[in-house]
């Protein structure tokens, strides 16, 4: 049984309030949404995915670190990597204040400093599609030990239809429709060997991701809508954060896989 200690919510609220002036309006809104319900929903999910008590775990693209903190509360020793220095600083402060075993570091997930097979599990939520994702898949599997567990997720075409039509989470510095349009152009560029816009989405179909994982030595690949893989704890239920489909096309989907024992 893994619980969120009672002082965690207050610490998170203080940290978000203190850090908000350092962030753009879009980032500040994201930080508030992320910690709105504390860490319980993330801890529940970590348990559901079978990530509790794995050992040494990489949170690849940790953002503000809600998953890193939940992974630590679930009995893991966590390395957390993100390209954004202000998010890494935020997580460093919070993990320190909470005395949780999380080591944040700034860097890209396409190439990390970790030796081969460093991690017992690798967790990558909401990041792959912002990177040169084929390189990232190869890197995440490189640092995972044979038999280790990988979680990642990505967005199908339905997600971009949703952004275009609904203006989901619009802020003065973030136009979801423009994001969708740029993401589609970026995807075309990625597929056609043209320069991609750094940090801009690339649409990855579930089939493409599963094929790349297989080619890079993953096995036991399971794919479903975000929040629908794994086994909820007794008495809990599946509580997705996003829809599996939007307007008839794949929305946010997730993958659980293992690194094949024979792969390097
Ligand atoms: C949508 S956020 C998700 C963050 C976190 N995993 C979560 O679930 O909230 C995407 C994150 O990916 C980070 N990111 C973007 N490109 C990256 C890269 N190449 N390597 C590492 N992190 C990257 C961003 O800085 C941002 O924190």
Q: What is the CATH number of the domain that holds 28?
A: 3.40.50.150
Distance CA 205, CA 222 (A): 14
Q: How many CB atoms lie within 10 A of CB 231?
A: 11
Q: How deeply is 78 buried, as exposed, middle or buried, from its count of CB atoms within 10 A (0-12, 13-18, 19+)?
A: buried
Q: What is the pLDDT of residues 41-60, one digit of tens each?
A: 999 999 999 999 999 999 99
Q: Is the CB of 130 under 6 A from ligand 1?
A: yes
- Say what the pTM is: 0.96
Ligand 1 close to Cβ of residue 127 (< 6 A): yes
Q: Is residue 81 part of a domain?
A: yes
Mean pLDDT lowest among 14-23, 188-197, 235-244: 14-23
Model confidence at 21, in pLDDT bands (50, 70, 90)? confident
Residue 165 inside a domain? The answer is no
Cβ–ligand 1 contact at 100 (below 6 Å): no
> Considering the chain, what is the average pLDDT of its residues?
95
C-alpha separations of 56 from 98, 102, 116, 134, 217 in Å: 19, 10, 13, 24, 20
Residue 264 confidence (pLDDT) above 70? no
Chain mean position to CA 52: 16
Please say if the pLDDT value at position 100 is more than 90.
Answer: yes
Average pLDDT over residues 169-182: 94
The domain tally of the chain equals 1
Kindly give, in sequence order, each residue whose CB lies less than 8 Å from that of residue 36, ignoring residues fewer than 6 positions away.
none
Token output for 135: 């390189």
Domain boundaries, position 25: 8-155+203-234+252-259
Closest by CA position to 159, among listed 226, 104, 110, 88: 226
């Amino acid at each position: 049984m893994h619980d969120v200690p009672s002082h965690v919510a207050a610490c998170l609220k203080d940290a978000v309030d203190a850090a908000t002036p350092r962030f753009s309006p879009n980032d500040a809104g994201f930080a508030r949404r992320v910690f709105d319900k504390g860490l319980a929903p993330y801890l529940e999910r970590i348990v559901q995915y079978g990530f509790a008590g794995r050992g040494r775990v990489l949170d690849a693209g940790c953002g503000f670190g809600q998953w890193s903190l939940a992974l630590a509360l679930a009995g893991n020793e966590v390395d957390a990597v993100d390209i954004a220095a202000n998010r890494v600083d935020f997580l460093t402060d919070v993990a320190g204040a909470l005395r949780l075993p999380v080591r944040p570091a700034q860097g890209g997930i396409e190439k990390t400093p970790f030796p081969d097979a460093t991690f017992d599990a690798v967790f990558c939520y909401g990041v792959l599609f912002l990177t040169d994702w084929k390189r990232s898949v190869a890197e995440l599997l490189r640092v995972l030990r044979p038999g280790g567990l990988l979680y990642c997720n990505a967005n199908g075409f339905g997600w971009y239809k949703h952004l275009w039509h609904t203006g989901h989470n619009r802020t003065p510095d973030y136009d979801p429709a423009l994001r969708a349009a740029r993401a589609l152009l970026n995807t075309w560029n990625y597929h056609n060997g043209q320069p991609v816009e750094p940090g801009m989405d690339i649409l990855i179909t579930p089939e493409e991701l599963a094929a790349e994982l297989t080619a890079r030595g993953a096995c036991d690949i399971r794919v479903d809508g975000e929040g629908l893989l794994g086994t909820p704890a007794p008495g809990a239920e599946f509580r997705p954060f996003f829809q599996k489909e939007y307007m008839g096309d794949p929305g946010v989907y997730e993958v659980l896989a293992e690194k094949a024992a024979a792969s390097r």
